[in-house]
């Protein structure tokens, strides 16, 4: 089972991923988490990524595609995985298609979580409060930039998958449990 969960920052992708991981015994691959781990570890790539992430921009396609290519080659991905925060550009989506085709794999589902932009500010504010400001990009100013980047660079992957007939949508404005139920209904 290979799933892509799409949606703007604050849509609830991470929260729902945790539930899908448990139910379907697959692993979550979050490029944001991987990049934050590199930042924490102080690697050269992490130092470069931090600046880009704090601005709300996207890390280069080559870097994230390389990270995902290495990660999905690991044995724990053989049962399947759910991509959270990747792909984020059409170029990344095309690279993923090639990567999967080379392994004889294909996507099971691409699910877009649709959320009204107005609530995203409240959700990110809540996350910042709950995590004690753990993420330096969880603030109104950076979120504004992340939303512009989402609209301009990430939203075009929705028609990309729609044309392939692979796209499903869920209403991400519902409460957390209802969104989970809608996701299970698609995936079961």
CB of 188 to ligand AMP, least distance (A): 26
CB of 92 to ligand AMP, least distance (A): 6
Residue that has been written with the tokens 């996507």 in this structure: 107
- Give the CB-side neighbour count of residue 56, counting CA atoms within 13 A: 18
Of 69-77, 85-93, 100-108, 125-133, the segment contacting ligand AMP by CB under 6 A is: 85-93
Order the strands of the 27-30 sheet from edge to edge: 27-30, 81-84, 2-6, 109-114, 167-171
Q: Which is nearer to ligand AMP, 148 or 185 (CB)?
A: 148
- Please identify the residue of the shown chain whose CB is closest to the bound ligand AMP: 32
Where b means 16+ CB within 10 Å and e means fewer, 27-53 reads bbbbbbebbbebbeeeeeebeebbeeb
Q: Which is nearer to ligand AMP, 31 or 112 (CB)?
A: 31
Determine if 69 is a binding residue for ligand AMP (CB under 6 A): no
Q: What is the dihedral of CA 128, 131, 136, 138, to 10 degrees?
A: -30
**Are the beta carbons of 80 and 106 closer than 8 angstroms?**
no
Determine if 64 is a binding residue for ligand AMP (CB under 6 A): yes
Determine if 58 is a binding residue for ligand AMP (CB under 6 A): yes
Determine if 59 is a binding residue for ligand AMP (CB under 6 A): yes
Query: Which residues contribute to the site for ligand AMP (CB under 6 A)?
Result: 9, 31-32, 35, 52-53, 56-59, 64, 85-86, 88, 92, 137, 146
């Amino acid at each position: 089972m290979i799933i892509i969960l799409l949606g703007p920052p604050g849509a609830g992708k991470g929260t729902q991923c945790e539930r899908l991981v448990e139910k379907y015994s697959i692993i979550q691959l979050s490029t944001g988490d991987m990049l934050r781990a590199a930042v924490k570890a102080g690697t050269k790539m992490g130092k470069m990524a931090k600046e880009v992430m704090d601005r709300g921009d996207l890390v280069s396609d080559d870097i994230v595609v390389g990270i995902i290519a290495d990660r999905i080659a690991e044995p724990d991905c053989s049962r399947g995985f759910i991509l959270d925060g990747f792909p984020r550009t059409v170029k990344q989506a095309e690279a993923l298609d090639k990567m999967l085709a080379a392994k004889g794999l294909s996507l099971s589902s691409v699910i877009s979580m649709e959320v009204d932009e107005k609530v995203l500010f409240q959700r990110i504010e809540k996350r910042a409060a709950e995590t004690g400001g753990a993420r330096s990009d969880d603030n109104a100013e950076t979120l504004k930039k992340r939303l512009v980047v989402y609209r301009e660079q990430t939203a075009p992957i929705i028609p990309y998958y729609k044309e392939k007939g692979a796209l499903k949508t869920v209403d991400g404005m519902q409460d957390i449990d209802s969104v989970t139920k809608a996701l299970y209904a698609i995936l079961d």
